[in-house]
């Protein structure tokens, strides 16, 4: 029985959401941080989208945000020429790292000992978080502002991208109907999700490159998409100022989504029967009806 | 030839948003006792804890499922099987924190309908309800 994807909208930001990151899986579940042009990055519970706290301190748009593996630390990159490291449990600011231009990207190593930053000054910087007073190691080479820099290959290499070049080996490429801003590979690599300028999210089969599903829902271009560490959901951040959570397997009971078994006697499709104070059934229909574009077929044999 | 639209996946509720002007990070929250790891401290051996933590995880999962089942019951008609072969039905309202009592409405008993009642959970053998 096919069901329509119900994205969960996380509100709270007042400007475009430009970056988001998940933590690893911790004993308390996993967490999500969102970077926003309103300068107030937020921490949320990863599987429900519930807001936990807002990191207050930046004086400009926050362009990048990340969490360390166990979600005890957060790092943010902002237009106020600083990157900050935060205690992700208390929300307190731990460190402010001054830069010479807008900082766009931050990334922790797996052991949380080093922080990689990058931005408009075209330099990659590696900070030793055990020695915050020490000067960072600087790596030059980019000829334009760096948009994103990440540790890879077990923190032995850095992957970085600016406007013109991505220093990386091309492994696979996919045709998309619109300019894509961000993509994320499922932890088990069966498929990937991507989003961009046409406001839609696309899901592609990693091996065949076939477009599997697409969803409308955002009211602006999608800036960032990430899979959760368990692959059960993916989050998208948009120019419309919202963050949305989408199910990888539509209809599965997970987080706030609840599987409803069809009545065997009646021919009616299962409908949500619980009434809860925040929304009525009509509102729920409205929320879900934004997605009328699913190409997920209920009769699999129809697909070539 | 129009196929009916598939129904949307139901949700328990919407994600909670920020609370007014508060910055959050509840001081008595679940992670309150956690401090950021001091770098350089050796990791404590994890191996012997593995089985215990697995059990704990399973317990937590089951507990969460049970709590969600209670949430799902709110407002529904529930049939209770009590001691001495007594069966009653009622609309479930709420439970207390120890799940010692169920607050129910329109309790249909052999001697009449009670508008509101507290059912002692120790008196209940089983209960069922339709989703």
A89 in contact with B, Cβ within 8 Å: yes
- Contact between residue A284 and residue B11 where contact means Cβ atoms under 8 Å apart: yes
* pLDDT tens for chain A, residues 1 to 304: 678 899 999 989 989 999 999 999 998 899 999 999 999 999 999 999 999 999 999 999 999 999 999 999 999 999 999 999 999 999 999 999 999 999 999 999 999 999 999 999 999 999 999 998 899 999 988 888 888 888 988 888 888 887 766 655 566 777 888 888 888 989 887 889 999 999 999 999 988 889 999 999 999 999 999 999 999 999 999 999 999 999 999 999 999 999 876 654 443 333 444 434 444 444 444 444 443 333 333 333 333 4
Of B7, B16, B31, Cβ closest to residue A3:
B7
Tell me the nearest-neighbour CA distance from A121 into chain B, angstroms: 29
Task: Give the mutation candidate from A276, A278, A285 for the B interface (greatest B CB count, under 10 A).
Answer: A276
Burial of A280 (0-12, 13-18, 19+ CB in 10 A): exposed
Question: What is the structure's pLDDT at B35?
Answer: 52
Closest residue by Cα to residue A76 from A46, A106, A50: A106
Tell me the nearest-neighbour CA distance from B121 into chain A, angstroms: 23
d(CA B79, CA B109): 11
Q: Decide if pLDDT at B39 tops 70.
A: no
Question: What is the structure's pLDDT at B2?
Answer: 59
Flag whether B12 is in a domain: no
Flag whether B34 is in a domain: no
A8 in contact with B, Cβ within 8 Å: yes
Question: What is the structure's pLDDT at A97?
Answer: 95
Flag whether B15 is in a domain: no
Question: What is the structure's pLDDT at A259?
Answer: 82
Q: Do A56 and B14 touch (CB under 8 A)?
A: no
Question: What is the structure's pLDDT at A302?
Answer: 32
- Contact between residue A304 and residue A36 where contact means Cβ atoms under 8 Å apart: no
Tell me the nearest-neighbour CA distance from B20 into chain A, angstroms: 10
Flag whether B50 is in a domain: no
Q: Do A284 and B11 touch (CB under 8 A)?
A: yes
B48 in contact with A, Cβ within 8 Å: no
Task: Quick: pLDDT tens for B68-127.
Answer: 889 889 889 999 999 878 899 999 999 998 898 999 999 998 889 999 999 988 889 899
Closest residue by Cα to residue A208 from A180, A174, A179: A174
Residue B89: phi and psi, rounded to 5, are: -125, 155
A4 in contact with B, Cβ within 8 Å: yes
d(CA A102, CA A81): 5
Range(s) of the domain holding residue B108: 74-129
- Contact between residue A265 and residue A259 where contact means Cβ atoms under 8 Å apart: no
Tell me the nearest-neighbour CA distance from A162 into chain B, angstroms: 32
Q: Do A251 and B9 touch (CB under 8 A)?
A: yes
Q: Between the CA of residue B101 and those of A77, A226, B118, what are the distances in Å? A: 51, 43, 6
Question: What is the structure's pLDDT at A278?
Answer: 42
Question: What is the structure's pLDDT at A267?
Answer: 38
Flag whether B123 is in a domain: yes
Which residues have CB under 8 Å from B117's CB, separation 6+? B90, B103, B104, B105, B107
Flag whether B56 is in a domain: no
- Contact between residue A172 and residue A214 where contact means Cβ atoms under 8 Å apart: no
List, edge to edge, every strand of the sheet that includes A243-247. Answer: A8-10, A243-247, A233-238, A222-227
Q: Tell me the CATH number at B103.
A: 2.30.30.100
Q: What pTM was computed for the model?
A: 0.66
Q: How many domains does chain B have?
A: 1
Query: Residues B50-75: what's their mean pLDDT?
Result: 88
Q: Between the CA of residue A110 and those of A73, A183, A227, A284, B46, what are the distances in Å? A: 12, 21, 18, 40, 18
Q: Do B10 and A9 touch (CB under 8 A)?
A: no
Of A51, A256, A292, Cβ closest to residue B13:
A256
Flag whether B108 is in a domain: yes
- Complex-level ipTM: 0.73
Query: Residues B43-54: what's their mean pLDDT?
Result: 64
DSSP state of A13: -
Coil vs helix vs strand at A3: coil
d(CA A222, CA A234): 13
Task: Give the mutation candidate from B8, B25, B60, B76 for the A interface (greatest A CB count, under 10 A).
Answer: B8
B2 in contact with A, Cβ within 8 Å: no
Q: Where are the beta strands (DSSP E) in chain B?
A: 77-82, 87-95, 101-109, 112-120, 124-129
- Contact between residue A121 and residue A100 where contact means Cβ atoms under 8 Å apart: yes
């Amino acid at each position: 029985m096919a069901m329509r994807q119900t994205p969960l909208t996380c509100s709270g930001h007042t400007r475009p959401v430009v970056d988001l990151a998940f933590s690893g899986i911790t004993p308390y579940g996993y967490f999500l941080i969102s970077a926003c042009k309103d300068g107030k990055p937020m921490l949320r519970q990863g599987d429900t989208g519930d807001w936990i706290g807002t990191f207050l301190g930046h004086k400009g748009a926050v362009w990048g945000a990340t969490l360390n593996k166990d979600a005890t630390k957060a790092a943010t990159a902002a237009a106020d020429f600083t990157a900050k490291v935060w205690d992700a449990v208390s929300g307190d600011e731990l460190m402010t790292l001054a830069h010479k231009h807008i900082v766009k990207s931050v990334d922790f190593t797996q052991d949380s000992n080093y922080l990689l930053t990058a931005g408009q000054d075209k330099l990659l910087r590696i900070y030793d978080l055990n020695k915050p007073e020490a000067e960072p190691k600087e790596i030059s080479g980019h000829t334009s502002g760096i948009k994103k820099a990440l540790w890879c290959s077990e923190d032995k290499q850095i992957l970085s991208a600016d406007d013109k070049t991505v220093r990386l080996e091309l492994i696979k490429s996919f045709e998309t109907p619109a300019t894509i801003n961000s993509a994320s590979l499922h932890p088990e690599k069966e498929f990937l999700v991507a989003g961009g300028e046409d406001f839609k999210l696309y899901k592609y089969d990693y091996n065949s490159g076939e477009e599997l599903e697409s969803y409308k829902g955002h009211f602006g271009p999608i800036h960032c998409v990430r899979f959760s560490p368990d692959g059960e959901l993916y989050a998208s951040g948009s120019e419309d100022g919202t963050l949305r959570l989408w199910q990888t397997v539509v209809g599965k009971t997970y987080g706030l989504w609840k599987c409803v078994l069809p009545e065997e006697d009646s021919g009616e499709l299962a409908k949500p029967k619980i009434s809860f104070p925040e929304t009525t059934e009509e509102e729920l229909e409205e929320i879900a009806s934004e997605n009328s574009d699913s190409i997920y077929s209920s009769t699999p044999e129809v697909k070539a | 030839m129009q196929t009916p639209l598939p129904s949307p996946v139901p949700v328990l509720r919407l994600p909670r948003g920020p609370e007014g002007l508060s910055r959050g990070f509840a001081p008595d929250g679940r992670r309150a006792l956690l401090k950021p790891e001091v770098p350089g401290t050796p990791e404590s051996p994890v191996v012997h804890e593995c089985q215990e933590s697995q059990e704990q995880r399973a317990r937590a999962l089951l507990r969460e499922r049970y709590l969600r089942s209670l949430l799902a019951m709110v407002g529904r008609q529930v049939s209770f099987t009590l001691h001495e072969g007594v069966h009653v039905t009622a609309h479930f309202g709420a439970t207390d924190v120890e799940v010692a009592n169920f607050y129910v409405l329109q309790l249909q008993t052999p001697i009449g309908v009670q508008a509101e009642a507290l059912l002692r959970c120790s008196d209940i053998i089983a209960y069922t309800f339709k989703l």
